[in-house]
A and B are shown apart, each in its own frame.
Chain A
Amino acid sequence: DSGVTQTPKHLITATGQRVTLRCSPRSGDLSVYWYQQSLDQGLQFLIQYYNGEERAKGNILERFSAQQFPDLHSELNLSSLELGDSALYFCASSTPSEGARETQYFGPGTRLLVL
């Protein structure tokens, strides 16, 4: 158990809908990362938050957004869903500092199926 929790574990929805995925980082970790794992694109970095602020952005679509709350949990919002958004979404956490090489610990993922 990595200490990172994600809910829900599975999500089935229809095209055009909006969903919210939730992540609670390990105790003491300030950074949260979101990744998407799909068959055609592999594991792709979406976005990183550090202590409530957006820190880095990757291949995140404009239909997707995220935030990190004062209690450090994070939510990934996916809207106007398309079939191609079906994937496994992972959250990871770490406590990076300038020049540090901190390990990222991953949650179990949320499997999203868009029908």
Chain B
Amino acid sequence: GDSVTQMEGPVTLSEEAFLTINCTYTATGYPSLFWYVQYPGEGLQLLLKATKADDKGSNKGFEATYRKETTSFHLEKGSVQVSDSAVYFCALSDPPKGNEKLTFGTGTRLTIIP
């Protein structure tokens, strides 16, 4: 079945550092890929998404590119802020099979220190 493998956390970085959180996937179809973020004590918020190969999703300075050849969707940000501290989830859905559920990675906890 479909699966998402995400970089193990926790990740601790200094403010203004460069961030990469790795995400790879396995899917039998042609999935859509997502990054969701969960701030402390809150629900999941969509951060960005990409629906086809070579698409780049971007939001709030975060970017991720859908790489079909490497089945990856790594999250990057050039300069992180303390407010970026949260848990980040990579996810996929494969709707053409009528299977619209999201399959999530295990989450990566990010802490940014001033």
Interface residue ranges, A against B (CB under 8 Å): 2, 31, 33, 35, 42-45, 48, 55-56, 58, 90, 92, 94, 96, 98-109
15 contacts between A and B (CB under 8 A): A31-B100, A33-B101, A42-B105, A43-B107, A44-B104, A56-B98, A56-B99, A56-B101, A90-B44, A92-B102, A100-B95, A101-B32, A104-B102, A106-B45, A107-B43
The range of chain B's interface size is 20 to 34
A40–chain B nearest beta-carbon distance, Å: 11
Main SS of the interface on chain B? strand
> Is B100 within 8 A of A90, CB to CB?
no
Q: Using a CB-CB cutoff of 8 Å, which residues 49-102 of chain B contact chain A? A: 49, 51, 89, 93, 95-96, 98-102
> Is B107 within 8 A of A2, CB to CB?
no
Instruction: Select the residue from B36, B44, B95 with max chain A CB neighbours within 10 A.
Output: B44
Q: How far is the CA of A56 from the CA of B1 in the complex (A)?
A: 15
Contact of B43 among A2, A33, A56, A99 (CB under 8 A): A2
Q: How far is the CA of A107 from the CA of B36 in the complex (A)?
A: 13
